[in-house]
Amino acid sequence: MLNAYASYVLGLGEAAIKDDCILASQWYRKIERALQLIDQGVNPLIIVSIMEIQLLELFGVAPEWRFCAVCGNQRSSFDYSESYGGILCKNHWHLDQNRLHLDEKTMYFLRYLSDIDLDVLKSVSLSEKTSIKIKRALDVIYDDQVGLYVPARKFLNEMTSFDFAFEKGLDKTE
């Protein structure tokens, strides 16, 4: 399974960088560090999410994660809006009925992961449920705004769904 995460990180990086030598030199270290962290046992779903968030800009999608895209508010409950290209504070949710309707915890971690430096990351601990919600939000953003297909992603989605369903099934029997 770790190989699939590594393949996805490499495929994502390759698609984002293409043949741009300057971008390749800038991103090589980050991609290498992501692979090291996966190999060291850091939650691969979180490492992949960090890479997905931080690579968005190279695909021409640069969401504003720091503050409300409408008013600049930095302290509020937030939700992600594809229409506004970033987050909306609670005061502006009415402007986009199609926002992602993410819970506060998921939004907090999306914002946090968007700015995390992989070189200083030692570990990150998130519940499986929150990790899955982050992944689903990023899947929507990649499907709707990037339109990228990396073969390893389909496999990871299937395995994540299977693992999550399997764990829920185990919880019922205990």
pLDDT score at 170:
47
For Cα atoms 91, 94, 98, give the angle at the middle one, nearest 5 degrees: 125
pTM above 0.85, yes or no: yes
3-state helix, strand, coil in the chain (%, to 5): 65, 5, 30
Residue 164 CA to residue 131 CA, distance in Å, equals 11
What ranges do the domains of the chain cover?
2-63+114-173
**How many whole angstroms from its chain centre is CA 3?**
18
At CA 55, angle to CA 59 and CA 84, rounded to 5?
65
pLDDT along the chain (174 residues), means of 10: 92 92 90 96 94 96 96 96 97 98 97 94 88 94 91 79 51 42
